[in-house]
Structure 1
Amino acid sequence: MKAVRWILGAVLLLLITITATLQLSPNLGSWPLAPQPPTPGEVTITYLGTSTILISDGETQILTDGYFSRVSIPELFTRIEPDQARIESALNKAGIDKLDAIPVLHSHFDHAMDSGIVARMTDAQLLGSTSSAMAARGSDLDEKRITTVQTHHPYQFGEFTLYFVPADHVPLPRPIEKWTGKGEITAPVKPPAYLGAWQEGGCYGLVIKHPSGSLLIQGSAGMQPGELDRYQADYALLASASLGKQSEYYQQVFYDETVGAVGAHTIIPVHWDNFFVELTEDVKPLPWLLDNLDKSFDALANRHNGDFVVLKPFQRLTLTPPESVDLPVDTEASPPAG
């Protein structure tokens, strides 16, 4: 009996320690924040936690992923489902009542679980992998509102052109990969379900082109070499979670194959926030136990000669339009006037 009490006491102490550690988060400290309020301009981006980003030119609105339920860590060990109240609250706070498209970057729960519901609520077209399509069907999204994408194919919404580019998920410890699901979703996911039902599926980077600016959005800190070489983007919105835990070699390749490949002048980190608590303007970064914010940010900022700025949730940033280039005129080859 004494040994049993010792074991139970040790387990309890361990649980208390883990719980306490999960309450400890780094802060944004001296990392440069984007200016408030945004400067006037045509295209704005609004960070809404994880890799959920609203892109708008005032006429057309694109929302990546659309995850707002933000399931708590204890709930992850039970069957989980979308939180309708949190979804509605976040959409209202962001001023979203109608969307044109919801591109889903991969189909883990923190990307795809809410996407079908958000598409239903906003009359949006959902685009993603076959796995993301299955997740959407589990949310009873009408089949005509689901597009299974082809990589490198242009999808047009207003003046925005979207390209889905093959990518990979950031490497995770094998038990975590097994728990969260590394494979494909082969049948509609009907919530509530265990988080592993939302398998990773196809993982994409998303290039968005617009006359007033271009973006690369990488929803996980993974990539596939050479896939972005054909694209240019002014801004790179890159997931930073777990990047600091990777090797120097991996960090360098990730930078080269994303920012370096598209020639972005500005990096904006995403997926840095603690997505296990409700989304607020002052939400903290992921706890120390799960990520080291400074190391993950350093992996990008220290390799970049351009700007590195942080957007807080619900904060907007106006894209700077690309400079027009005046091509030289060969006057000798021009026909004489008159």
Structure 2
Amino acid sequence: MENYISKHIIRVAFLVLSVLVTLGGCSEPIKKYHSKRLFLAPDAESSNAGLRLFWSGAASVVIDDGTHSVLIDPFVSRQENSVFDIVFRRDAVVAECRINERVKRPEIARAKTILVGHSHYDHSLDVAEFARLTKAQVFGSLSTQRILRAHDHTTATRVTANDVLEKDDVDGRFKITVFASKHGNPPVCLEPFGCLNPLADTVPDSFELPAAVTEYGEGEVYAFFVEHKFGNVLHVGSAGVMSGTLDHLKGQVDVVLLSLVGRGPTEAFLKNIVAAVNPDYVIPIHFDNLFRSLDAETRVAKIAKLSEFFEVMERDYPNVNTGVIPFDEPWNLPHRGASDG
């Protein structure tokens, strides 16, 4: 019994350390190191032209053509779910008032499609409320379906790898292909307990509310290739893609939105994605402190190793443009072959 209690204490301590390191601890202001790597908002004359991308922390992205938009992993309930709420398994909180304010933004209000890459809380917790307010159709895994059902939203459609969503599935001029992806690694491993990932499980059919953050299990993990006549975007919302999965997209991808936290060795990670598809742009996402308000200055989680990412990109992919998008500011996707200089 004493041995069991000791192991349990170590596991809890390990969980605390993992959450602190991965989701928010040890972070620094983005401008301290990367002020020269910001993709700024377009000027007024071009702000309504083409395809616009918005990033609002974690893997949350809006792809907007001015008439229709696609939301991917929408999430704003950040400071409502603290590190200690997670560690002590307190009930997850949906920031309904905050979501209510966000859906007033025109690029979100016109969304009719929501994509969910996997079902961890920072990808799935807010989806039901966004869907309720926008009347958007949700596409995600079986685990995502179960979470939305518990949140009293029944219109989630299950997708699996290689599914293609077109006119019969999504509004607007978007075509979306679903790819099997892989979640990033836990940040800390401790012998003899291995790499503890308390969020790795599939969400059970019995899932119901209230539920702790740790009950929002991973489920199947997907990347999304969003095609549009104005440009093609590959959203990799988790820091791992199986080797060879994306090779056939080479030359078709204009911009990759690439999650950084939890990746393995940077060179191999970029080889499986950037070298595989040869995009014009790579924009890192999911490198920020998840517990800070979207109104606060973006802080970079040290575990994301953003400086190392930029260094390897410059060295190995000098012809690929890379930089970050400030929270909630639009970035116009240039026509393929264009450059920001």
TM-score by length of 2: 0.80
Equivalent of residue 259 in structure 1, options 264, 274, 282: 274
| Preserved contact between residue 55 and residue 328 of structure 2 (Cα < 8 Å) | yes
% same residue: 25
Greater C-alpha Rg: 1
Gaps of 5+ in 2: 1-12
Task: Report the Cα distance in structure 2 between the residues aligned to 1:298 and 1:317, rounded to whole angstroms.
Answer: 23
Task: Report the Cα distance in structure 2 between the residues aligned to 1:117 and 1:25, rounded to whole angstroms.
Answer: 31
**Cross-structure match for 1:27:** 30
Alignment deviations for residues 119-154 of structure 1 (CA, whole Å, 9 cap, x no partner):
111101100111111111111112xx2111132222
Counterparts in 2 of 1:74-85, with a 5 A limit?
74-76=84-86, 77=88, 78-85=90-97
C-alpha spacing 1:189/1:178, structure 2 compared with 1 (3 Å): farther
Gaps of 5+ in 1: 1-10, 325-338
C-alpha spacing 1:169/1:302, structure 2 compared with 1 (3 Å): farther
Equivalent of residue 111 in structure 1, options 117, 123, 141: 123
Q: Which amino acid aligns with 2:28?
A: S
Alignment deviations for residues 206-228 of structure 1 (CA, whole Å, 9 cap, x no partner):
11111111011111110111111
Counterparts in 2 of 1:116-155, with a 5 A limit?
116-142=128-154, 145-155=155-165
CA-CA distance at 1:86 after TM superposition: 2.4
- Alignment pair present for 1:170 and 2:184: yes
**Cross-structure match for 1:238:** 258
| Preserved contact between residue 175 and residue 228 of structure 2 (Cα < 8 Å) | yes
- Alignment pair present for 1:278 and 2:293: yes
Counterparts in 2 of 1:180-259, with a 5 A limit?
180-187=198-205, 189-231=207-249, 232-243=252-263, 246-247=264-265, 251-259=266-274
* Helix, strand or coil at the partner of 2:300: coil
Alignment deviations for residues 72-123 of structure 1 (CA, whole Å, 9 cap, x no partner):
2122122212121222233335752242111001111110111122111110
* Helix, strand or coil at the partner of 1:260: helix
* Helix, strand or coil at the partner of 2:37: coil
**Cross-structure match for 2:334:** 320
C-alpha spacing 1:299/1:104, structure 2 compared with 1 (3 Å): farther
C-alpha spacing 1:176/1:292, structure 2 compared with 1 (3 Å): farther
C-alpha spacing 1:37/1:226, structure 2 compared with 1 (3 Å): same
Alignment deviations for residues 283-318 of structure 1 (CA, whole Å, 9 cap, x no partner):
2222x4x54432344454543221111101101111
C-alpha spacing 1:23/1:227, structure 2 compared with 1 (3 Å): closer
Task: Report the Cα distance in structure 1 between the residues aligned to 2:226 and 2:92, rounded to whole angstroms.
Answer: 32
Task: Report the Cα distance in structure 2 between the residues aligned to 1:323 and 1:90, rounded to whole angstroms.
Answer: 33
| Preserved contact between residue 212 and residue 322 of structure 1 (Cα < 8 Å) | no
Aligned residue-pair number: 300
CA-CA distance at 1:27 after TM superposition: 2.8
Task: Report the Cα distance in structure 2 between the residues aligned to 1:192 and 1:72, rounded to whole angstroms.
Answer: 16
TM-score by length of 1: 0.80
| Preserved contact between residue 236 and residue 259 of structure 2 (Cα < 8 Å) | yes
CA-CA distance at 1:23 after TM superposition: 6.7
Q: Which amino acid aligns with 1:159?
A: R
CA-CA distance at 1:194 after TM superposition: 1.6
C-alpha spacing 1:122/1:269, structure 2 compared with 1 (3 Å): same
C-alpha spacing 1:200/1:308, structure 2 compared with 1 (3 Å): same
Equivalent of residue 306 in structure 2, options 284, 293, 308: 293
| Preserved contact between residue 272 and residue 285 of structure 1 (Cα < 8 Å) | yes
Mean CA deviation greater in 70-79 or 185-194: 185-194
Q: Which amino acid aligns with 2:268?
A: V
Q: Which amino acid aligns with 2:139?
A: L
CA-CA distance at 1:241 after TM superposition: 1.6
RMSD (Å) for aligned C-alpha atoms: 2.7
